[in-house]
Amino acid sequence: MAETVKFDPGIGELAVDFNNYINDVYSKLMNLHSPHQKRAQFKLYSDKIYSYMQNNIAFYFGCLLWAYYISANNAKTPKNIEGNPFLNLTEEEKDEFDFAVQVNFMDNYFDSFERDSAYYLGKKTVIPDKWRKILELYSEFLDKNNGFTNTKTTADIVIPDEIKNKKYNLNDVSTLISSVISSKDLNLFLTNQKIVI
């Protein structure tokens, strides 16, 4: 039996850099002067923007499920967490570390995307309530765990009550995480019928 569990089982590498992508897209849009050109350009990007948002929301749900799994699976005998990149930050780095910046960026962008899709495409693309709920829970998760800057063992993990109270079947969670990693498809976290938010 391993004495440690991984901080990331292998889903982190599947997430996209949403913030930089969006900044790049809007930088290109702002360099266009004609509204017609901006509409055409946004139309080219809109499907990819949506899929990148979906990718990151799936990643956040996956993080919640992995934390739930390693916390519940090792409740009686906590294990050390291996590979936490936030654990060894200096006090100065911790002071400057904004662990919620990406989540806040996406939260703000949801409303922008709905507005921009209505403006540029003539039809509002509505962000699913499920995505907003996952983002809210992941934000709570980050806050309760102080950005994982002190998360050394599975006993240190604080799971949001709404997730903890789901009482997911641990075998189902493990199987889902393994499927995501082997298929390299984060969206399985959002389409699974057994494990829902």
Give the Å distances, CA to CA, from 159 to 73, 115, 128, 162: 13, 33, 23, 8
- What is the tens place of the pLDDT at every residue in 11-27? 999 999 999 999 999 99
Question: Is the pLDDT confidence value at 69 over 60?
Answer: yes
Average pLDDT of the segment spanning 43-47: 95
Question: Is the pLDDT confidence value at 93 over 90?
Answer: no
For residues 76 and 153, the answer to whether their CB atoms sit within 8 Å is: no
Tokens of 102: 């990406």
* Residue 71: its H or E element: helix 35-73
- What is the tens place of the pLDDT at every residue in 99-123? 899 999 999 999 999 999 999 999 9
Q: What is the mean pLDDT of the chain?
A: 95
Least confident of 5-19, 43-57, 87-101, 170-184: 87-101
- In this prediction, residue 1 carries a pLDDT of 43
- In this prediction, residue 6 carries a pLDDT of 97
List Cβ neighbours of 142 (8 Å cut-off, separation of 6 or more): 99, 100, 103, 148
Tokens of 50: 């949506």
Predicted TM-score (pTM) of the model is 0.94
What distance lies between CA 150 and its chain's CA centroid?
20
- What is the tens place of the pLDDT at every residue in 143-186? 999 999 999 999 999 999 999 999 999 999 999 999 999 999 99
Average pLDDT of the segment spanning 63-71: 98
Least confident of 56-65, 83-92, 156-165: 83-92
CB atoms within 10 A of CB 105: 14
Distance CA 63, CA 40 (A): 36
Distance CA 18, CA 16 (A): 6
What percent of the chain shows pLDDT beyond 90? Answer: 89
Which conformational region is residue 89 in: left (phi greater than 0), alpha (psi within -120 to 50 degrees), or beta?
beta
Domain ranges of the chain: 12-74+98-146+158-191
Amino acid at 49: I
